[in-house]
Structure formats: C-alpha cells, structure tokens
C-alpha cells in the first residue's frame, strides 16, 4: 500500500470513529492530511464524505489562526475542483466550502458571492444551498450572541 493510500485509510479511520480531535492532532504533523481529506470528499460512503467536509472546516479553523492565506488556498482548490476544466470534479466541494466558511467566518465576505453562483450550476445546486444555509446558521448564532 502506498503512503498516500495509508494516509487516506488513517483519515478514514478517524472519520469513522468521529475522532476529530485525534484527526486534527495527527493532521497538524502530517503534511498530506489535507490532500487525504480532499480525496475523501469522493468516498463511496456518504457519512465519510460529510465527515471529511466537517473535518476540513475544523482543520481550516486551526490553520486560520496562523495562516489565513493557506485557508484561502484550500478554498481556491475546492472552487477549482467545481470547474469542468479541473479534470477532477468534486461534487461534495460545496459542502466542504460551507464547513470551512462556517468555521472561518472572517472569509465570508470574500467567498460568499462566488459560492452563491453555484446555486444554478449542476451538479452543485443542492450542496451549495446546504452550504449557504450552514453559513447563515453561523451568522444567526453570532447575531443572537451580540
């Protein structure tokens, strides 16, 4: 088994167990963790895809404390993967973007318009609607705390 395949299996084990704390600790020291999470957005198990999206959001929040530009790069990768020209269409990219923007609200203004444009782009309509609702939930919670 290749190193990338082993990484992917490690991440899948963390996700199956719902062990985000363990995953984030491991991901901090593992340079290929982000790539493994992105690849699991294609997983045949829907629960793994959802957990990978959530883990990307949590990882982005951790990264944002030190390097907001690295989070922007992750967001760019996801938007690129929603383009036919990418050659690697990630149908679950909107859900991952929703989780990232939920966990890193300082980037809302920068990316909400671009994300919203996918409400009318097949096959991303449903995932984009979910992502926008997820971000709105965060905004509503923030407003009620103020």
- The pLDDT assigned to 1 comes to 77
Q: What is the pLDDT of residues 49-101, one digit of tens each?
A: 999 999 999 999 999 999 999 999 999 999 999 998 877 899 999 999 999 99
> Where along the chain do its domains lie?
3-145
Q: How confident is the model at residue 28 (pLDDT cuts 50, 70, 90)?
A: confident
Buried b (16+ CB within 10 A) or exposed e, 85-111: eeeeebbbbbbbbbbbbbbbeebeeeb
**Taking the CB of residue 28, how many other CB atoms lie within 10 A of it?**
11
Give 132's contacts (C-beta < 8 A, 6+ positions apart). 98, 112, 115, 116, 119
Q: How confident is the model at residue 9 (pLDDT cuts 50, 70, 90)?
A: very high
Higher per-residue confidence, 10 vs 142:
10
Q: What is the pLDDT of residues 88-144, one digit of tens each?
A: 899 999 999 999 999 999 999 999 999 999 999 999 999 999 999 999 987 666 655
Higher per-residue confidence, 7 vs 18:
18
Q: Rounded CA gap, 57 and 106, in Å?
A: 13
Q: At what angle do helices 3-17 and 46-64 cross, to 10 degrees?
A: 100
């Amino acid at each position: 088994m290749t190193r990338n395949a082993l990484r992917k299996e490690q991440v899948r084990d963390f996700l199956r167990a719902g062990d985000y704390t363990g995953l984030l600790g491991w991901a901090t020291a593992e340079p290929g963790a982000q790539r493994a999470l992105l690849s699991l957005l294609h997983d045949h198990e829907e629960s793994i895809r959802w957990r990978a999206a959530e883990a990307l959001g949590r990882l982005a929040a951790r990264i944002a404390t030190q390097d907001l530009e690295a989070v922007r790069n992750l967001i760019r990768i996801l938007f690129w993967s929603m383009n036919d020209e990418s050659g690697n269409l990630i149908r679950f990219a909107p859900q991952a973007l929703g989780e990232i923007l939920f966990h890193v609200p300082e980037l809302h203004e920068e990316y909400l318009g671009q994300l919203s444009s996918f409400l009318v782009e097949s096959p991303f309509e449903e995932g984009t609607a979910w992502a926008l609702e997820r971000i709105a939930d965060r905004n509503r919670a923030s407003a009620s705390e103020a």
